[in-house]
Amino acid sequence: MSKLYVARNPRVAARGIGGEMMIMSGRDSTLFTLNKTATILWQAADGATPLDEIVQQRICPEFEVQPTEALRDAETLARELAGHGILQVSEEPIPTGNPASGEPQGEKR
Amino acid sequence: MPELTTDVERLSLVIEIGGMPVRLNTTDPGFLDMLQNRYAGFLGESKPPEIEFDVDLTPPVFDQPAGEARVSHRMGRWSLQRGDFLAEWEPALRRGVIHQSANPYSIDAVLRIVHTLVLARQGGFLMHSASALRNGKAFLFAGVSGAGKTTISRLAPPDVTLLTDEISYVRKHDSGYVAYGTPFTGELAKLGENVSAPVAALFLLVQGPENRIDPVAPAEAARSMLANVLFFAKDEELVQATFHAAFEFVSRVPVSRLTFVPDTRVWELIG
- Tell me whether residue A99 is in a domain: no
pLDDT-based confidence at residue A107 (cuts at 50, 70, 90): very low
State the pLDDT confidence band at A2, using cuts at 50, 70 and 90. confident
DSSP class per residue in B80-106:
EEETTEEEEEETTTTEEEEEE-S-HHH
- Amino acid (one-letter) located at B174: D
Per CATH, which fold does B125-269 belong to? Rossmann fold (3.40.50)
Chain B closest CA to A2's CA: distance in Å? Answer: 33
Say which of A22, A27, A29 has its CB closest to residue B222.
A22
Q: What is the CATH number of the domain that holds A78?
A: 3.90.930.60
Asked if pLDDT for residue B90 goes beyond 90, the answer is yes
- Partners of B234 on chain A (C-beta within 8 Å) are 27-29
pLDDT for B38 equals: 93
**What pLDDT does residue B66 have?**
65
* Residue B204 near residue B255, CB atoms below 8 Å: yes
Q: How far is CA B204 from CA A14, B129, B141, B170, in A?
A: 23, 9, 6, 16
Say if CB A52 and CB A59 are below 8 A apart.
Answer: no
pLDDT number for residue B44: 85
Instruction: Write out pLDDT tens, residues B188-233.
Output: 677 889 999 999 999 999 999 999 999 999 999 999 999 999 988 7
Work out the mean pLDDT of chain B and round it to a whole number: 91
> Residue B47: pLDDT band by 50, 70, 90 thresholds?
confident
Asked whether residue A12 is assigned to any structural domain, the reply reads: yes
Query: Bigger pLDDT: B250 or B9?
Result: B250
Fill in the DSSP letter of residue B201.
Answer: E
Q: Where are the domains of chain B?
A: 11-120, 125-269
Residue A98 lies in a domain: no
Q: How far is B31 from chain A (nearest CA, A)?
A: 36
Which residue in chain B is spatially nearest to A102 when comparing CA positions? B236
More confident position, B65 or B70: B70
Res B63 pLDDT > 80:
no
Check if B239 contacts A (Cβ < 8 Å). Answer: yes
Is residue A61 domain-resident?
Answer: yes
Q: How high is the pLDDT of residue A101?
A: 36
C-alpha to C-alpha distance for B102 and B59, rounded to whole angstroms? 8
Q: For residue range B96-106, what is the model confidence (pLDDT) as tens digits?
A: 999 999 999 99
Helix (H) or strand (E) holding B237: helix B236-252
B107-129 burial, b at 16+ Cβ within 10 Å, e below that, comes to bbbbbbbbbbbbbbeebbbbbbb
Residue A39 placed within a domain: yes
Q: Which of B43-47, B141-145, B208-212 has the highest mean pLDDT?
A: B208-212
Q: Are B219 and B247 in contact (CB under 8 A)?
A: no
Q: Distance between CA B269 and CA B11 in Å, rounded? A: 47
Reported as a single tens digit per residue, the pLDDT across B9-19 is 779 999 999 99
Taking only residues 165 to 194 of chain B, the set having a beta carbon closer than 8 angstroms to any beta carbon of chain A reads: none
Domain count, chain A: 1
Domain that holds residue A14: 5-88
Of the candidates A22, A24, A33, which has its C-beta nearest B239's C-beta?
A24
User: Any idea what DSSP says for residue A58?
Assistant: I
Residue A109 maps to a domain: no
Q: What pTM value is reported for the model?
A: 0.87
- From residue B28, how far is each of A100, B32, B54, B108 by CA, in Å? 48, 6, 11, 17
Taking contacts as CB-CB distances below 8 angstroms, the residues of chain B near A25 are 239
- Give the count of beta carbons closer than 10 Å to the beta carbon of residue B76: 9
What single string gives the DSSP state of each residue in A25-56?
A: ETTT--EEEE-HHHHHHHHH-EEEEEHHHHII
